[in-house]
Structure 1
């Protein structure tokens, strides 16, 4: 990338689904470099550095175990002798999935605002900025998943081979998150309050998703409402492969993947069509 090359910020940009995938492929090395810089930069200057990315989920796993199984004496109701650690592990899966989605959504409104120099001066594929945020969130998700699997191995002495399917389970959520991120990154340029709203929405989604409770714990009349939440299916299927050692519902995930691709395409189209106005506002 030549930092001395200037471009017309008002020019039109391709907005088709094909252009979306072409952008990912053509800029894959730049996405990787910026993601690595983002991850390392988050812990730069601290004594423990990247080790914090490991100790943070470990600490949270202990906190969840104590609060929900000791203080509230909660149980998941999976049958058999359910230990406190079992409840914490099941709950932690929901937190991992929600954390991935929440980090992408909460960072999205400020992505363009924090990179104004890329908008006005240099030739830069602005559409990759949400991918960088997603890459950083996926790194944290990967570390948290490693902690989860390690806890299962140490506590329950079990490792389910179905865990290798976890990336496939996450795929619909990844595309949906990108679609929302593109939309919010663009909207955040024109409406600065969006950054405050997304934090509220992701917090509400955490409690309106089966993170702290199973879907079966809700009365029948509320279950249909919970199923509308895009996180519900992903959390439930993630627990199948990571904790319970069963295959996911491929048909439901296929429908979710199509929906995720549709959201990603719509978000990419919106971003590409509205980016012509970024320079005027910024």
Structure 2
């Protein structure tokens, strides 16, 4: 088997193509709407407003360890968890269809198919960054300052990138040969929402449950974002280092699998 070169994982040679496709995907999502790309700002802002209304006005909810902020604090905690989960859900849900929805790129054109997960991840990251800006603005309004620990934001999100890319390569290839993967992924994403600390804190669980919860690749990223953006705490650097290593190994293995199976894409499609 021919091993992939570094350009497979870091497609600098195709960076212009990746940028153009990612830009087209972001703009195409809102093409024809009155507000256009403005929906990228409005949607997370409305989400935050809805969560605030529900948890402040209806449930009078309190987040463990942050009772002083009341329901608004609860809304910010959930919004942080949903930012990460929505990015994961977007990549995971689309991955099985990345190749089968582009048969012309497989059959008729010499196209670097490996960049399709990159395009999907960059498009999702664009919306994540906008959500982060809204969260920081809401934090500034609520607490009159943005914590210094927010500077660690890139170091928390960077380890998540190879995991998402690996997810994209793995299920993009599997989706070509096993069409049921797309249907199963929709169910898996819904289950993952409740098995991830989106609507609750992992620290509120028992020690045994926390062990199993941290096997979820979303847990460390969600909890680290909450720590640096809402709790003024530095993340678990050792945990992020181990996460980065495991994510890179998963990414490399998925890339190898994608390249090993791509020769059969045209036959199946």
- TM-score class normalised by the smaller sequence: over 0.9
Residues 91-110 of structure 1: matches in 2 within 5 Å? 91-110=78-97
User: Residues 15 and 65 from structure 1, CA distance in 2 versus in 1: closer, same or farther, beyond 3 angstroms?
Assistant: farther
- Structure 2 unaligned runs (5+)? none
Task: Give the CA deviation at 1:162.
Answer: 2.2
Output the CA distance in 1 between the equivalents of 2:5 and 2:153.
25
1:274 correspondence with 2:266: no
1:145 to 128, 132, 135: 132
Q: TM-score, normalised by structure 1?
A: 0.91
Any idea what the Cα deviations from partners look like across 1:175-203, whole Å, max 9, x if unmatched?
11111110100111111111111121112
Q: TM-score, normalised by structure 2?
A: 0.95
- Structure 1 unaligned runs (5+)? 1-11
Any idea what the Cα deviations from partners look like across 1:109-128, whole Å, max 9, x if unmatched?
11111111110111110000
Match of 2:158 in 1: 171
Match of 1:8 in 2: none
Task: Give the CA deviation at 1:242.
Answer: 1.3
Match of 2:196 in 1: 209
Find the residue that maps to 1:211 and give its secondary structure.
Answer: coil
Output the CA distance in 1 between the equivalents of 2:56 and 2:168.
35
Output the CA distance in 1 between the equivalents of 2:35 and 2:66.
40
How many residues are matched?
269
Where does structure 1 differ by over 6 angstroms across 4 or more consecutive aligned residues?
A: none
Find the residue that maps to 1:113 and give its secondary structure.
Answer: coil
1:47 correspondence with 2:34: yes
2:76 to 85, 89, 107: 89
1:18 correspondence with 2:18: no
Output the CA distance in 2 between the equivalents of 1:192 and 1:72.
42
